[in-house]
Amino acid sequence: MGFFLEALFAGLMSGVLYSLVALGFVLIFKTSGVFNFAQGAMVLFAALAMARFAEWLPQWLGFESALLANIVAFLIAGAIMCVVAWLVELLVLRHLVNQSDATLLMATLGVAYFLDGLGQSGFGSGIYTIDVGMPKDPIFVLESVFPGGILLNKEDLIATVIATALVGLLTLFFMKTTTGRALRAVADDHQAAQSIGIPLNRIWVIVWCVAGGVALVAGVIWGSKLGVQFSLSTVALRALPVIILGGLTSIPGAIVGGLIIGVGEKLSELYLGPLIGGGIEIWFAYVLALVFLLFRPQGLFGEKIIDRV
């Protein structure tokens, strides 16, 4: 039972991190109808910018404070992500208005490859560290109940708190701010939003910028855990089953979907994996999502698709 609970908690904490990446997909899809395949590349690009500037700034400016370097690097990386958002809107999206969904998807695929290459050319292809002081050692709870206790990873716990706070902030942003309301209006109906004076182009830049910010936070958390390296961009692949399951248009769906996938893949690897050779958790997440789609094609919280015949 102790082992089961350990796996369950580990899955839940991984799930929160998947949700964080999935949020980036959902934000952009909700407001622009674009399935942004470049979200993973944005996570890598943002994390590379953060890691490298945190390393370079003390050398360039001659100070030693790691905290200051991290804060400034975070701000620079955030600004870079907004510039990327602006360029994507200016050079890609603006020219593809009214094109098919497949065209837009392929365009973001191109952006993904471009960002992957640009990131490695500009910032390097090594493994870089983001040291924001996250604790690395585990804690053990309920030692009196279970032999050896239940292991919890402090780093994952903190990451969960940060991710939860970010989701809360985003919800507040969407519900309480003028820009957030404008974003929701665009999401509901582009033409209606435009007719009351909401500038679509600016809204798209803002939403890509917000998605870039989410990518940065995800990149910092994942980068702190794994090191900043090319594989971070594949983290996005872990978020795909999450959005299949949670629905492409729902923020709560991204969160609940993340938790289900996180728990599902850990339990499947630990209990089913040994029976069929192991190494199943990555594809099992997709199987889980696909099985779910059989019963609920729009995802857990996605909008029901009704087509007039």
Partner 1 sequence: MRVRNALLAAVVMTAGFSSSLTTPVFAQEQEQFFPLLVFRTGPYAPSGVPWANGFVDYYKLVNARGGINGVKAVWEECETSYATDRGVECYERLKGKNGGATLFQTMSTGITFALTEKAPGDKIPILTPGYGRSDSADGGVFEWNFPLTGTHAASADTQLQYVASLVGGLDKLQGKKITLLYHDSPYGKEAIPILQKRAEMHGFDLSMIPVTHPGVEQKSAWLQIRQNRPDFVLLWGWGVMNSTALKEAQATGFPRDKIVGVWPSGSESDVKGISGAEGYSAVLLQPGSGPDSQVVKDILELVHAKGEGTGPKEEVGEAVYMRGVVNAMLSVEGVRAAQEKFGVGKTVTGEQARWGYEHLDLTQEKLDALGFHDVMREVKTSCADHMGSSWARAYVWDGTRWKLASDTWFQADMSILDPLVKTSADAYAAEKKLERRRADDCQS
Binding residues for partner 1 (CB under 8 A): 3, 6-7, 10, 14, 117, 120, 125-127, 129, 136-138, 140, 151, 153, 155-156, 225-227, 229-232, 234-235, 238, 265-266, 269-270, 273, 277-279, 281-282
Shortest gap between Cβ of 27 and partner 1 (angstroms)? 24
Shortest gap between Cβ of 211 and partner 1 (angstroms)? 22
Q: What are the φ/ψ torsions at residue 10 (nearest 5 degrees)?
A: -60, -40
DSSP 3-state of 296: coil
Residue with Cβ nearer partner 1 (7 or 82): 7
Shortest gap between Cβ of 4 and partner 1 (angstroms)? 10
Say if strands 150-153 and 138-141 run parallel, antiparallel, or are unpaired.
antiparallel
Shortest gap between Cβ of 37 and partner 1 (angstroms)? 18
Residue with Cβ nearer partner 1 (3 or 63): 3
Residue with Cβ nearer partner 1 (71 or 155): 155
Shortest gap between Cβ of 283 and partner 1 (angstroms)? 8
Residue with Cβ nearer partner 1 (163 or 232): 232
Residue with Cβ nearer partner 1 (119 or 212): 119
CA angle 206, 54, 227 (to 5 degrees): 90
- Taking the C-alpha atoms of residue 261 and residue 10, their distance in angstroms, rounded to an integer, is 12
Residue with Cβ nearer partner 1 (64 or 137): 137
Helix residue ranges, H only, 134-199: 154-176, 178-188, 190-195
CA angle 107, 81, 40 (to 5 degrees): 55
CA-closest candidate to residue 222, choices 58, 5, 48: 48
- Taking the C-alpha atoms of residue 49 and residue 222, their distance in angstroms, rounded to an integer, is 14
Exposed e or buried b for every residue in 13-51, given b needs 16+ CB within 10 A?
bbbbbbbbbbbbbbbbbbbbebbbbbbbbbbbbbbbbbb
CA diameter of the chain: 68
Shortest gap between Cβ of 173 and partner 1 (angstroms)? 30
Residue with Cβ nearer partner 1 (71 or 226): 226
Which residues, listed in sequence order, are joined to residue 235 by a DSSP beta bridge? none
Shortest gap between Cβ of 144 and partner 1 (angstroms)? 18
CA-closest candidate to residue 215, choices 71, 25, 29: 25
Shortest gap between Cβ of 38 and partner 1 (angstroms)? 17
CA-closest candidate to residue 126, choices 41, 265, 229, 280: 229
Residue with Cβ nearer partner 1 (157 or 198): 157
